[in-house]
Amino acid sequence: MPGVLLAVVVTVAALLAPGAAAQPAERTRSAPAFTAVSTSWGGTCATASRGRVWCWGSNASGGLGPVDDDGKVPRPRRIEGRWSQFSNADGVSCGVRTRGRGYCWGRNELGQIARPITGYPVVEPQRVAGRWREIRTTGTTTCGIRTSGALLCWGWDNHEQAGGVDGVYALEPHLVGRGFVSVAPGLTSCGIKRDASGWCWGWGLYDQLANGNNTDTGDPQRIRGRWRTIDAGESSACGVRPSGRAACWGQNTNGQVRPGSPSDVAGISTLPGRWREVSTSAGASCGVTTRGRAACWGWDGVGTVGSGAPAQVVGIHRFPGRWVSVLTRADNTCGIRTDRRLWCWGSNEYGNVGNGSLEPRFTPHRLPGRWASVALAGTHTCGLQRDASVWCWGSGTAGELGYGRLDDRLTPVRAR
């Protein structure tokens, strides 16, 4: 089954004053006061005030700028310029600078930076024509929304996730639809329009498009109802409506779509209660209700659900306490309670839980500190503490932990 394609996405609240010419540049030894952090396979990025972005980790493809001898950036490196929105994943960087100017650079063997395919990294930011609100990349497929609301995608289109073009590569932005306000590209891509209608397209083998056809299509398929958020996982998706009602659709082998009922589900399956957020990935789903109650359901073979013991199917498992957020990604789950304590659990294959072990963790483990947010990737985890510092743990062989060394750490280390 295809792996999870996760993108590092960093957003700044408002467009900022013009910065220097667009080119990735300098290194920094001191850590600024960060305001957000995101992770992808092999990489981490964080924002600070005034649209400044720092990244660290794998740079073999030039997504963080000029390629060093070993292609690794073990400490935060400043991405030159000021950004209203920035996205990095799997060797590709894209973002929007002042006045809506969009740029992409890095890997380009699939057309993911909207340029003719090259056999080498493109380390200088390449302007993407038009005025943009956001550009997001998975490292293989890239989608962006122009200020007009037009949604365009480019790059890998093997499941028509770039909108369906002749062949499997979209080498220039391809119009997918109009009137969009948000997009999340992936093997299954999803977006929300101004009227709160939800749409998905691309890989549809497990009915991730909620149309009952189980086939791929580049034509956006309407997801019945109105939506505030949609989170598309590996082979399923979940969303929350403006009313707080939530629903999931797609593969239900372990009851990740319909809790406790591991059977095929046609269309969308509504969850009980009202929800603030819901996420889904790798056979399990988690969420937080409008009353701050956290719950997970689905496959708990390696602790993703946190029910306390291995299980193939777990119905809705609720956690004590009040929660701000809970996020599940690639067999690991982390959540922050209202007291800003961070708890993690799951497969822990790379030390993602941060408890000093590599053994699966079937119940939540509390990490020291007070936390503002957390981000999970396939091999490492990073979080932003309330003092504006970023801490990471797990696999660090590409420098993705950001503390200057190329090794794994099973407990949090500070990126600086």
Q: DSSP for 351-363?
A: STT-SS--S-EEE
Q: Which residue in this structure is represented by tokens 């708890």?
A: 343
- pLDDT confidence tier of residue 4, bands split at 50, 70 and 90: very low
Q: What is the pLDDT of residue 10?
A: 42
* DSSP classification of residue 209: T
- pLDDT confidence tier of residue 167, bands split at 50, 70 and 90: confident
CA gap 177, 360 in Å, rounded: 43
pLDDT for 334-359, tens place per residue?
A: 999 999 999 999 999 999 999 999 99
pLDDT for 23-48, tens place per residue?
A: 333 344 567 999 999 999 999 999 99
Q: CA dist 375 to 37, 63, 354, 371, 381, Å?
A: 7, 20, 13, 11, 6
Secondary structure of residue 85 in the 3-state scheme: strand
CA gap 64, 105 in Å, rounded: 9
- pLDDT confidence tier of residue 160, bands split at 50, 70 and 90: very high
Q: What is the pLDDT of residue 5?
A: 36
Among residues of the chain, what percentage have pLDDT more than 70? 93
Phi and psi torsions of 259, nearest 5° = -50, 130
Q: What is the pLDDT of residue 1?
A: 39
CA gap 252, 244 in Å, rounded: 22
Q: What is the pLDDT of residue 22?
A: 36
* For residue 11, pLDDT beyond 60: no
Q: What is the pLDDT of residue 30?
A: 66
- pLDDT confidence tier of residue 118, bands split at 50, 70 and 90: confident
* For residue 240, pLDDT beyond 50: yes
Q: What is the mean pLDDT of the chain?
A: 92
217 sits in the region (left: phi over 0; alpha: psi -120 to 50; else beta) called beta
CA gap 30, 266 in Å, rounded: 52
* Interacting residues of 175 by C-beta distance below 8 A, sequence separation 6+: 150, 151, 152, 163
CATH no., domain 228-378: 2.130.10.30
* Interacting residues of 86 by C-beta distance below 8 A, sequence separation 6+: 9, 10, 11, 12, 45, 47, 53, 79, 93, 94, 95, 96
CA gap 309, 107 in Å, rounded: 41
Domain ranges of the chain: 8-139+385-416, 228-378
Q: What is the pLDDT of residue 19?
A: 33
CA gap 388, 54 in Å, rounded: 14
- pLDDT confidence tier of residue 18, bands split at 50, 70 and 90: very low
Mean of the pLDDT values across residues 296-324? 97
Secondary structure of residue 50 in the 3-state scheme: helix
* For residue 7, pLDDT beyond 80: no
Q: Cβ-count burial of 98 within 10 angstroms (0-12 exposed, 13-18 middle, 19+ buried)?
A: middle
Q: What is the pLDDT of residue 217?
A: 98
pLDDT for 221-234, tens place per residue?
A: 999 999 999 999 98
Least confident of 13-27, 158-172, 271-285: 13-27
